[in-house]
Amino acid sequence: MTVTSTRSMAALKLWHETYTETALEPALPIIDAHHHMWDRPPERYALDELLSDFYSGHNIRASVFVECTAMFRADGPEALKPVGETEYVNGFAAASASGIYGPARLCAGIVSYADLSAGDAVRPLLEAHIRAGGERFRGIRQQAQHDPILGSMARRAPPPGLLLNPEFRVGFAALAPLSLSFDAYLYFTQLGELLDLAKTFPQTCIILNHAGTPLGIGPYAAHRQEVFNIWSESLRRLAECENVVLKIGGLGMALCGFELNARPLPPSSDDLAELWRPYVETCIEAFGAARCMFESNFPVDKQSCGYPVLWNAFKKLSSTRSAGERTDLFNGTARRVYRIDA
């Protein structure tokens, strides 16, 4: 959960029970391109919780797990402790691949954490992740979000300018030779830094998370149109880099300032579509559907809406797109970028 979440997982469950929707277009194949799993008592989002969401009406065929500092090793070399998260998730993926839990192949792609600012010393960790994740391991995410006004609101609190750090870039250079991608999570104020990184490493696939996180809290809350203008122009410049693709989602994070989590009842898919349409349309127009993929960002976005409602909103928001574009948005782009066979 983000630092601005106001409900516990137990309270969220009760809140979601007050409103849900039947899945629209239930046959449409979906790869959920971004979700997490963790066990942080009293908060838990693991196999049972994930399956409950996956089988709530939509045709989820596969998913991509993205790091969230879960289940690092307690023992062994400090530098290799993040491998525990890959081991943890790959176990769930293997259980899912047995078919005993249904047709969805959860965590068919795995993105884990590495501190790339370790420079050349990060290579053993990357190789250990590959061994632990086997054919499912796809890349690294090192959170970089840091705003000049708000600072970092992340669990790991990255320093400012991480993507420009020379040692980080030495570590980043190790990704492409290992056929690994980079998931980038940052705020809209940092999109220029990501643009510089993408231009410097054109052979590395970069996946921008959460639509570039247009902030809507603190001093940005009263300047939503100005934020939108800066964010959209930055996205268009970034889209000129062909090695960058975009995840559309994460708008349910409280950071974005829509205050959905403060409502007495959960929002409907129509509510979400109305609020998010300018953002979703800008993303698709900038990058094209072939370089965009929808993501749930669950359980983080669970603070703002239910899983069936979220995918209904994405289906409504894409309803005027061609069949080919919708295939890309819901499964094709994720399948290609994360090399998923499901």
Query: Distances from the Cα of 162 to the Cαs of 27, 169, 190, in angstroms?
Result: 42, 9, 10
**pTM of structure:** 0.96
Tell me, what's the pLDDT at 13?
87
Q: How many domains does the chain have?
A: 1
50 occurs within a structural domain: yes
Is residue 342 in a domain?
no
User: For residue 6, what pLDDT is reported?
Assistant: 61
Distance of alpha carbon 83 from alpha carbon 66, whole angstroms: 13
Write out residues in the chain with pLDDT < 50, as ranges.
Answer: 1-4
4 falls within a domain: no
Q: Specify the pLDDT at position 203.
A: 98
Residue 17 counted as domain residue? yes
Inside any domain, residue 61: yes
13 domain residue, yes or no: yes
pLDDT tens-digit readout, 155-188:
888 999 999 999 999 999 999 999 999 999 999 9
On whether residue 2 sits in a domain, the answer given is no
Beta strand segments in the chain, E: 29-35, 38-40, 43-45, 59-66, 105-112, 137-141, 181-184, 206-208, 244-248, 292-294
Q: What is the pLDDT of residue 10?
A: 83
Q: Give the CATH number, domain containing residue 205.
A: 3.20.20.140
Confidence at residue 3, expressed as pLDDT on a 0 to 100 scale = 37
**Predicted local distance difference test score (pLDDT) of residue 4:** 43
User: Which tens digit of pLDDT belongs to each residue from 22-81?
Assistant: 999 999 999 999 999 999 888 899 999 999 999 999 999 999 999 999 999 999 999 999
Q: Which structural domain, as residue segments, surrounds residue 286?
A: 9-337
Instruction: Return the pLDDT at 5.
Output: 52
Position 1 in a domain: no
